[in-house]
Structure formats: C-alpha cells, structure tokens
Amino acid sequence: MKKYNIGIDLGGTKVLCAIVENNKKAASNPKILFEVKKKTKKEKGNKKVTAKLLEALDELFEISKIKKEEINSIGIAIAGQIDRKKGVVINACNLDCKNLEIKKILTEKYSIKTKVYNDVEAAASGELLFGAGQNHKNILCIFIGTGIGSSIIIDKKIYNGASGSAGELGHVIVDLNGRSCSCGGVGCLEAYASRSAIEARIQGAIKKGRKSIITELTEGQNISTKHIKQALDAHDDVVTQYVNEAIEYLSGGIASAINFFNPELVILGGGLIQGIDEIYKKTVKLTKAKALKVASENTEFKKAELADYSGVIGAALTEE
Ligand SMILES: [Zn+2]
C-alpha cells in the first residue's frame, strides 16, 4: 500500500485539497501533511469548477513535492447529488454543476484511482473512523451550516437508502403551511434552523425597522457565523430571538429523528455548531427535553471532532 491518499472537499464556497497519511488505524489521528484551499464562490458551472479544482490539485502536488506514483487514491467529497458507482456529480446546485464526470476527469489527468462521495456522507465517515464516532455503531450525524445535512450510520456503515438520499433531516417537514425551501418543498427544517434561515429572519426584521448590532458588524457584507456569535455575546435582541427560534425547530427535528431511529450517539457538527458553543449546548438540552424518554435515555451527544477536515479525511480514507 502506498503511503499517501488525497482528500478533497468541494463545496459552494471553497475547495480544500489535502494529502493525508494513509494510516487506517482507528484512534490514531490521520495526519494532514499538506493542504491547498481555494475560494469557489465565483466559479459556477462544470468547466469553471473543474478548472478551479485541477488548479488546486496541481498546486498541492507542487508544494508537497509528492509524486503521483506515491498516491494510493483520490477521494472527493462534493456538496450535491452524486452517482457513487459512475463517479458522476448528477446535480450540485451550489456549484451549478450537472452531470459532471468528475471521476473520469481526475483519473484521466492523474492516473490515480478516484472515489466520489457526497460531502455529508464523507464527513460522517470521517467522524465514524477517526472522530467522535469511534467505538460507536449506530449513529446519527447532523451538520448545521448554510444548510442542514445528516447521515445515518447503522452497524458502523453509512445507510444510503434505495436511491442514495437517506438521512435528509434538513427536508423533514416541520410546518405544513410554512416557508419555502431550497428543495422546492414547503416547511422543511432547513428553512427554519439553518444559518441561511437565521440570516433571512434577521435581515427581514432589520428591513421592518428593528435595530440590531449585526448591521454594524457586517458593514453590508453577508452575515457569517462569526457575526452571529458576536451579536449573541453582545445580547442583541434580534439575533438572540432568531437563534433561539432556530434552536427550537432544530431540537424538535433532532428529537423526532431520535424517536424514529433510537441511535446510541448523535454527532452534531457544521459551522453553526463548531463556531458557537452556546447553540450546541442549548440544542442538546432542548433535544433531550423533547425526545421520548425511552428513545433518548441511552443516547449520547457529541460535537464533531474533525471540524473542517471531516470531509477531507472521510473522502481520503474511507474504503469502498
Ligand atoms: Zn426542503
């Protein structure tokens, strides 16, 4: 077995490529030896996204001085709907990519075995193998950031479902006559408890004339997790109200999933959870209060441990 693997996390705002030591022993943290991160905000469509990705990979080879022949495999995690077997991105809305034959492109260019994963699946796999999920069998992984992604792990294996979409907790319906969701549906949890949902509520309130410190903090830029944290720390009324509202919905959604699945462990991760400890703690407390006692009394809660690297590590080191 060759010494190194490459892991790639390709999302709507950035591409992160890393050379990871090919050490599959659980409990020994995989080492990220080299990494290249590039913004992908402006790159939309198959051609531009591919060009950016190849640019980042070429740079990774250049700075690491590691040769293609020393790489065992490339694993790429993409935020979107993918065909694992064919290695094709069927649809990635954030990147505006459709039917992108990513496996073929990478194999032809680098002649290295390539695996393609959905980003949430790769992140859950990273946590299972090397993060918070080690030593657990039946796990629910939930990542809360721009959207809400989740993954079901049964007997240490990711459960994909009949068409590969299992675990879409973000699109569980929490209000039949509610807000529109990015999926085209109505009343999905993601439209109530994601960072985008909180951002929309805050902006709506400001437009209606409510005053919030967030206006000064953002200086006209988009609201980030950091801004939300600063506003919470300053006890800003508007931000506190909408963050609390989001936590009410989020804990309701997670409690429903626990009642349904009865997992031994719930791992919470993603930007909002990693960036704001208060959100993590309140979510856990309210989830426990809302779930059925019999379903939740033996359920443990943990924060994701690999942070920004769960996708890269999962993509690099998951065995097919
Ligand atoms: Zn939806």
Same domain, 283 and 156: yes
Q: Is the domain of 271 the same as that of 295? A: yes
* CA 44 to centroid of ligand 1, rounded, Å: 22
Residue 13, helix vs strand vs coil: coil
Ligand 1 centroid to Cα of residue 179, in Å, is 10
Q: How close is the Cα of 14 to the center of ligand 1, in Å? A: 23
166 and 179 both lie in a single domain: yes
Q: How far apart are CA 312 and CA 306, in angstroms?
A: 10
Cα–ligand 1 centroid distance for 225 (angstroms): 22
The number of distinct structural domains making up the chain is: 2
Q: Are residues 298 and 313 in the same domain?
A: no
My answer on whether 119 and 179 are in the same domain is: no
Which regions in the chain score pLDDT beneath 50? none
- Can you spell out the DSSP letters for 132-144? TTTT-SSEEEEEE
pLDDT digits (tens, 9 = 90+) for 281-312: 999 999 999 999 999 999 999 999 998 899 99
Q: pTM higher than 0.85, yes or no?
A: yes
Q: Are residues 96 and 200 in the same domain?
A: no
Q: Which pLDDT score, from 0 to 100, does residue 43 have?
A: 79
Instruction: Say if residue 286 is in the same domain as residue 144.
Output: yes
Report CA(185)–ligand 1 centroid distance (Å): 5
Task: Reduce the DSSP state of residue 179 to 3 states and report it.
Answer: coil
CATH number of domain containing 50: 3.30.420.40
User: So what's the pLDDT on residue 3?
Assistant: 85
Same domain, 117 and 146: no
> Ligand 1 center to residue 269 CA distance, Å?
20
**How many whole angstroms from 3 Cα to the centroid of ligand 1?**
41
d(Cα 250, Cα 146) in Å, to the nearest integer? 14
If asked whether residues 209 and 267 sit together in one domain, one would say: yes
In this structure, the answer to whether residues 100 and 203 fall within a common structural domain is no
| Residue range of the domain that includes 62 | 4-126+309-317
pLDDT value of position 167: 92
Say whether both 111 and 162 belong to one domain. Answer: no
Tens of pLDDT along 208-262? 999 999 999 999 888 999 999 999 999 999 999 999 999 999 999 999 999 999 9
**Tell me, what's the pLDDT at 11?**
87
Ligand 1 centroid–CA 242 distance in Å is: 19
Evaluate whether 113 touches 107 at the Cβ level (below 8 Å): yes
> How many angstroms separate the alpha carbon of residue 194 from the centre of ligand 1?
11
Q: Are residues 37 and 59 in the same domain?
A: yes
The Å distance, Cα 184 to ligand 1 centre, comes to 6
